[in-house]
Structure formats: structure tokens, C-alpha cells
Amino acid sequence: MASIKKGDLVQVITGAKAERGGDRGKQGRVLSIDKEKNRVIVEGVNLVKKHTKVSQTDRGTKTGGIETVEAPIHISNVALVDPSTKKPTRIGARLETVTKGGVKKTVRIRVAKTSGKDI
């Protein structure tokens, strides 16, 4: 089971501090995950300038130029934010049996290690 999923609120735990121009301590939502490379794209974190070629659409408007986009960072450099304390936490799992439509099924539920609450 993946510890961090798309849509989770995470905090950057490594790198330069914000007052030195870095991203450590910043929080944001996970936009996408690359499981093969173990990288995540976090909203508002690791912003880079991307130069795109100026082109013209069918209607005549120009697109392209310099745009700011989020670059991927390694999944080990972010930690999930505990929903109750709003601080980074480790993640555990709890097994629970759920009956759905008369069928019993065992599901894993992610749990914050610091507070013990469900995520």
C-alpha cells in the first residue's frame, strides 16, 4: 500500500529553509505520483521556469513563452500532514473487516502515528 497518495496534504521535510529560498516546511497537495521513479509533484513546491516555444493556435492567439510549473521531488523528502495537529507524521496501517453487500472484506486503513487518527 502506498503511504502517500494523490490528493494528500504533505510537507517538505528536507532541503533549504524558506528564508534561504528553499522549500523546507512548505505544505501542499500532491498533484501526481510517479511510482517507478518514486517522485511526487506537490502543488506550490519546487517551482521551476519552463520555456515553451511560442506558437499560434487556430484562432490566432499566441501561446508559449516562460511559465512556472512544479517539478517532481523525491517521495522520501515529503511527509504526510496529520489532519488533527497539522504537523508532519509517519504513517501506519490498521486492518479492519468491512461487510459490503453481505460480503466480508479486509481493508487497510492509513493511520497517523503521532495522533492515531485515520487519514
pLDDT, average across residues 69-79: 95
Question: How remote is the C-alpha of 95 from its chain's centroid?
Answer: 24
Q: Are residues 53 and 30 in the same domain?
A: yes
Kindly report, residue by residue over 39-57, the tens digit of the pLDDT.
999 999 999 999 998 888 7
Q: Are residues 92 and 34 in the same domain?
A: no
Range of the domain at 9: 1-81
Q: Are residues 28 and 76 in the same domain?
A: yes
Residue 104 has pLDDT above 80, yes or no: yes
Identify the band that residue 100 occupies on the pLDDT scale cut at 50, 70 and 90.
confident
